[in-house]
Amino acid sequence: AQKVTQAQTEISVVEKEDVTLDCVYETRDTTYYLFWYKQPPSGELVFLIRRNSFDEQNEISGRYSWNFQKSTSSFNFTITASQVVDSAVYFCALSEINQAGTALIFGKGTTLSVSS
Amino acid sequence: DSGVTQTPKHLITATGQRVTLRCSPRSGDLSVYWYQQSLDQGLQFLIQYYNGEERAKGNILERFSAQQFPDLHSELNLSSLELGDSALYFCASSVGERGPYEQYFGPGTRLTVT
Instruction: Tell me the pLDDT tens digit for each residue of B6-52.
Output: 999 999 999 999 999 999 999 999 999 999 999 989 999 999 999 99
- A→B interface, C-beta within 8 Å: 33, 35, 37, 43-47, 50, 52, 91, 95-109
pLDDT by residue (tens digit) across B71-80? Answer: 999 999 999 9
The pLDDT assigned to A99 comes to 66
Which residue does chain A place closest to B39, by CA atoms?
A108
DSSP annotation of A77 reads E
The pLDDT assigned to B70 comes to 96
Angstrom distance (rounded) from CA A109 to CA A4: 10
Closest alpha carbon to B59 in A41, A18, A79, A106:
A106
The pLDDT assigned to B99 comes to 76
Rg (CA), chain A: 14
Q: Measured between alpha carbons, how far is residue A13 from residues A36, A64, B15, B105, B111 in Å?
A: 20, 16, 41, 28, 33
Letter for the amino acid at B17?
Q
